[in-house]
Structure 1
Amino acid sequence: MTKLRMMYLIIGLVLLSLAAGCGGGSPGGNEPKAAAQKRIINTYLEGLKDLDYNKLKQSVTYSVYSSWPTDRTKFKEMLAERQKPMGTIRNWTLETNPYVDELNNQTLVRATVTTDKYKVILKFDLRKYSNQWRIYGVDTERTIPLHKNSTPSALPPSGKADYSSKAKTK
């Protein structure tokens, strides 16, 4: 249960890091909203897949990456350890009709992430800060095992991820 939640935290961190460093591609912030949001999520998931510190840091807020180990090797080891229960990320798709709240500059985008072992449906909460989109949060909506021998009972059925580093035993 904790391992899956850690996976979601990592995915969330990657998305947040992408959002933070995305302003360079479009001077003046004229990039269409949907394209900017898609780029942020894609960069986050790529960083998570590649265990890339810089890609992850670009999209996350300071409050998130300030808790990461400063040693890049330790960071990669921590990230790899947290991803083991879920398996390696293979691919992902983003929904085409996200929920948009124009008044609050907020968009909720669902992504289906396929790993070696699971298909995970994540909901990304994107918000606009200083003319740049950032990932504000990531929730796990559903986890579907790809193989019969997978143990979904050890995973949270849905809802917010638990980011505690304590290992739970049976």
Structure 2
Amino acid sequence: MDIDSEPISSTTGMSNLDEDLMERLRSITTCNREDLIAQFRSTTNAMLTDEGCAFFLEMSNWNLNEAILAYYDAEMPTDKIPQMRFVADVTVGEGEAIPPNTRFVKTWRVENSGNEPWPSNCSLRFVNGDRLQDRDEIYVGSLAPAEQANISVDITSPAVSKIIRSQWRLFTSAGVPFGGKR
């Protein structure tokens, strides 16, 4: 489980998230509408129905790049996006073995690395991977600049021993993702 901060590249001047988005846009090669909807959702992390994704694609004549830009123009708030830095795995670390059928608490320590307080009602949401928890959303609340907080999720390991992957992401109450995936 990873929480990524978004460092700025000294060579391109873009964050890893921006570079990742540009790479995804360069690699898109389909004309299938279902594939375009899936790629739109994956690239934007949009919490939209298929019809909502199709709206932006139809508006852009099914040009994925233009649809993504239209989505961000329409959906991105004018407020600054909160900043987050992953500090530490407090409980279970990356790659640490957990016996099968074991209930445990996974805790991350994060920090508001920006200059603005986080908006109230920020939450950590399950976004991908092995679903091993009861709750898919954990409320975090507001953090002042440089303030740290522990975020915990109750998890039960699978019945059989295997490598698991579970991705989580911080969101504002308006549904804007920030801080990368962990």
TM-score range, shorter chain: 0.3 to 0.5
Q: Which has the higher contact order (CA 8 A, sep 6+)?
A: 1
More helix by share: 1
Indicate the structure (1 or 2) with the bigger Cα radius of gyration. Answer: 2
What TM-score results when the alignment is normalised by the length of structure 1? Answer: 0.35
